[in-house]
C-alpha cells in the first residue's frame, strides 16, 4: 500500500532526494539542508497544535510511503495562510487604456503589477511524485487527498486556496521571463533567484523589482510568450486542479510568470463529493467489477493517514481488512472520509 502520512524527522534524506529530483523552478523544495530540516520541524509543530481555530503560519507536509519497502514515493504540502510572516508576491495581469478621441486612437495595453493580493489564503504546495511511482492514479491520490484534509480540518484553513504552477524554463533552469527581468533589473540568473526565494531570502525582491506597472509590450517576445504558461512537467497537475474547480484569474509568478490558480474550498469537487462513513473490519477485501478506486483518510490530525482503496461507489459504510485499517489508523466503528478517484 502507498500510505500518505505526516512527515517525520527520519524522512529528511528522502525529502532531500525529492528536492534534488524536482529540478529547477520548484521553489518550495530547494536543495538546502537547513531549510528542509526547518520545514520538517515546522510541519511537526503544525500537526501537534490541537487548539487551532483560525489559519495561521502553519505548514503541513506529508509523504507518500510504500509500506512494503519503506521507500518514500513522494511529498505533498499545504500552507494554512501565506504571507503572514513575510511578503507573498505576485504579478497581477491588468489593462490600461490609452485613448485619444480627437485622433481616433484607442489602445488597450496589458500590464503586470506587483502585488500581495493573496496574503492570508491557503496554498496547496510542494507536490512531487518520484518517477517510479507515476502510475496507477498515484499522482492524483497524492494531490487530491489534500482536499479531504481541507474538508476535515476546515477551521485550520482559509475559505480560499491557491496553487502556484511552475512556469516555463529549460533543462538548464533558464526562464525566458526572468531573462528579461535579469537584463533590466537584476544581476543574477534564474536558478539563483529561485533558490534565494525558496530559502526565505526575499528582501531582494522588494529592493530590486520594478515598483511600477510593466507594459508587457515592452517585454521581449520570448518573455511575453510564457506569461501564464506552465512547464511541460506541470501540465498534468494543472489539469487535475482545473478538474477540481481551480481557475486562473490573472496572477502569475514573479520569477517565471507561471500561473497561480485559485478556488473556494467549499466548491472544490473533492470537498463537495467527499463523505464521512463508518468503518467495518472484514476478513477479506471485496472483489468485483463494481469496485472502484477511492481516496480514504481517517479523521485524525497528528495520526492522519490516507491511501487509495477499492470500494463500491455510494457506500454507507467502508469495509476494510484488518491490515488496511491498521495502516490507516482506523478501527471498527471509526469514521473515515472518502471520495471516488
What is the total count of domains within the chain?
A: 2
Gyration radius of the chain over CA positions: 22
> Which of 45-49, 155-159, 160-164, 253-257 bottoms out in mean pLDDT, i.e. has the lowest?
253-257
For residues 229 and 299, membership in a common domain is answered with: no
Predicted pLDDT of residue 196: 65
The fraction of the chain above a pLDDT of 70, given in percent, is 93
The pLDDT value given to residue 194: 65
Which of 24, 231, 294, 327 is flagged as catalytic?
Answer: 231
Confidence of residue 174 (pLDDT cuts 50, 70, 90): confident
Across the strands, what pairs with 76?
62
pLDDT digits (tens, 9 = 90+) for 62-111: 999 999 999 999 999 999 999 998 888 899 999 999 888 888 989 899 99
Asked whether residue 84 falls in the same domain as residue 162, the answer is yes
Three-state SS letters, the chain = CEEEEECCHHHHHHHHHHHHHHCCCCCCCCCCHHHHHHHHHHHHHHHHCCCCCCCCCCEEEEEEEECCCCCEEEEEEEECCCCCCCCCCEEEEEEEEEEECCCCEEEEEEEEEEECCCCCCEEEEEEEECHHHCCCCHHHHHHHHHHHHHHHCHHHCCCEEEEECCCCCCCCCCCHHHHHHHHHCCCCCHHHHHHHHHCCCCHHHHHHCCCCCEEHHHCCHHHHHCCCCCCHHHHHHHHHHHHHCCEEEEEECCCCCCEEEEEEHHHCHHHHHCEEEEEEEECCCCCCCCCEEEEEEECCCCCCCEEEEEECCCCCCEEEEHHHHHHCCCCCCCEEEEEEC
* pTM, 2 dp: 0.90
- Asked whether residue 107 is domain-assigned, the answer is no
Q: What is the pLDDT of residue 90?
A: 92
Task: Please indicate, yes or no, if residue 104 is contained in any of the structural domains.
Answer: no
CATH code of 334's domain:
2.40.40.20
The pLDDT of residue 23 is: 73
For residue 202, name the pLDDT band (cuts at 50, 70, 90).
Answer: low
Average pLDDT over residues 9-26: 87
CA 231 – CA 229 distance, rounded (Å): 7
Which of 273, 299, 329 marks a domain boundary? Answer: 273
Which cell numbers hold the place of 307? 491511501
pLDDT, tens digit (0-9, with 9 covering 90-100), for 246-257 = 999 999 998 889
Residue that the C-alpha cell 506541470 belongs to: 234
Instruction: Write out the three cell numbers for 146.
Output: 489534500
Q: What is the mean pLDDT of residues 164-173?
A: 86
Same structural domain, 145 and 195: yes
Mean pLDDT of 25-36: 80
Residue 186 shares a structural domain with residue 314: no
User: Any long-range contacts for 249-252 (C-beta under 8 Å, 24+ apart)?
Assistant: 250/92, 250/93, 250/94, 251/90, 251/91, 251/92, 251/93, 251/115, 251/117, 251/118, 252/90, 252/91, 252/93, 252/112, 252/167, 252/227, 252/228
Confidence of residue 204 (pLDDT cuts 50, 70, 90): low
Q: Is residue 253 domain-shared with residue 281, that is, in the same domain? A: no
Q: Are 254 and 304 in a shared domain?
A: no
- If asked whether residues 74 and 170 sit together in one domain, one would say yes
β-bridge pairing 318-321 and 335-340: unpaired
Residue 239 maps to which CATH number?
3.40.630.30
In the listed set 273, 288, 303, which residue is the last one of a domain according to the structure?
273
Q: Do the domain assignments include residue 102?
A: no
| Domain end among 273, 293, 317 | 273
Looking at the structure, do residues 155 and 290 belong to the same domain, yes or no?
no
Rounded mean pLDDT of 111-128? Answer: 95
Q: Is 231 a catalytic residue?
A: yes
pLDDT at 45 over 80: yes
Bridge partner list, 297: 306, 337
Mean pLDDT of the region 19-26: 78
Are 124 and 196 contained in the same domain?
Answer: yes
Distance CA 314, CA 147 (A): 19
Structural domain harbouring 338: 274-341
Q: How confident is the model over 273-330, as pLDDT tens digits? A: 999 999 999 988 878 778 899 999 999 999 999 999 999 888 899 999 999 999 999 9
pLDDT of residue 201: 60
| Per-residue model confidence (pLDDT) at position 227 | 96
Q: How confident is the model at residue 22 (pLDDT cuts 50, 70, 90)?
A: confident
- Residue identified by cell 528542509 is 36
Which cell numbers in the block locate residue 331?
A: 478501527
- pLDDT score of 56 more than 70: yes
In Å, how far are 2, 255, 339 from 312, measured between CA atoms? 20, 45, 11
Amino acid at each position: 500500500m502507498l500510505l500518505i502520512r505526516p512527515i517525520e524527522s527520519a524522512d529528511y534524506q528522502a525529502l532531500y532526494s525529492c528536492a534534488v529530483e524536482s529540478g529547477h523552478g520548484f521553489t518550495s523544495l530547494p536543495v538546502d539542508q537547513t531549510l528542509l530540516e526547518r520545514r520538517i520541524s515546522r510541519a511537526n509543530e503544525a500537526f501537534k497544535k490541537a487548539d487551532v481555530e483560525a489559519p495561521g503560519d502553519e505548514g503541513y507536509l506529508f509523504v507518500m510511503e510504500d509500506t512494503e519497502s519503506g521507500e518514500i514515493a513522494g511529498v505533498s504540502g499545504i500552507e494554512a495562510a501565506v504571507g503572514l510572516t513575510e511578503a507573498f508576491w505576485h504579478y497581477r495581469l491588468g489593462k490600461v487604456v490609452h485613448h485619444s478621441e480627437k485622433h481616433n486612437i484607442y489602445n488597450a495595453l496589458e500590464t503586470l503589477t506587483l502585488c500581495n493580493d493573496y496574503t492570508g489564503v491557503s496554498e496547496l504546495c510542494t507536490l512531487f511524485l518520484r518517477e517510479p511511482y507515476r502510475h496507477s492514479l498515484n499522482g492524483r491520490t497524492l494531490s487530491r487527498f489534500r482536499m479531504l484534509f481541507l474538508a476535515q480540518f476546515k477551521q485550520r484553513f482559509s475559505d480560499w486556496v491557491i496553487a502556484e504552477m511552475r512556469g516555463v524554463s529549460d533543462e538548464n533552469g533558464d526562464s525566458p521571463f526572468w531573462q528579461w527581468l535579469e537584463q533590466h533589473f537584476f544581476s543574477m540568473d534564474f536558478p539563483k533567484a529561485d533558490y534565494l526565494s525558496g530559502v526565505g531570502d526575499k528582501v531582494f525582491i522588494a529592493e530590486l523589482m520594478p515598483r511600477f506597472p510593466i507594459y508587457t509590450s515592452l517585454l521581449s517576445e520570448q518573455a511575453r510568450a510564457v506569461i501564464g504558461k506552465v512547464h511541460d512537467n506541470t501540465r498534468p497537475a494543472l489539469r487535475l486542479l482545473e478538474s477540481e474547480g481551480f481557475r486562473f484569474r490573472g496572477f502569475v509568478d514573479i520569477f517565471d510568470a507561471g500561473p497561480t490558480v485559485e478556488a473556494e474550498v467549499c466548491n472544490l469537487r473533492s470537498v463537495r463529493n467527499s463523505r464521512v462513513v463508518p468503518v467495518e473490519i472484514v476478513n477479506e477485501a471485496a472483489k468485483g467489477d463494481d469496485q472502484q478506486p477511492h481516496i480514504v483518510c481517517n479523521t485524525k490530525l497528528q495520526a492522519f493517514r490516507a491511501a487509495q482503496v477499492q470500494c463500491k461507489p455510494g457506500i454507507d459504510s467502508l469495509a476494510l481488512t484488518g491490515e488496511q485499517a491498521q495502516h490507516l489508523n482506523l478501527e471498527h466503528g471509526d469514521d473515515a472520509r472518502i471520495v471516488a478517484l
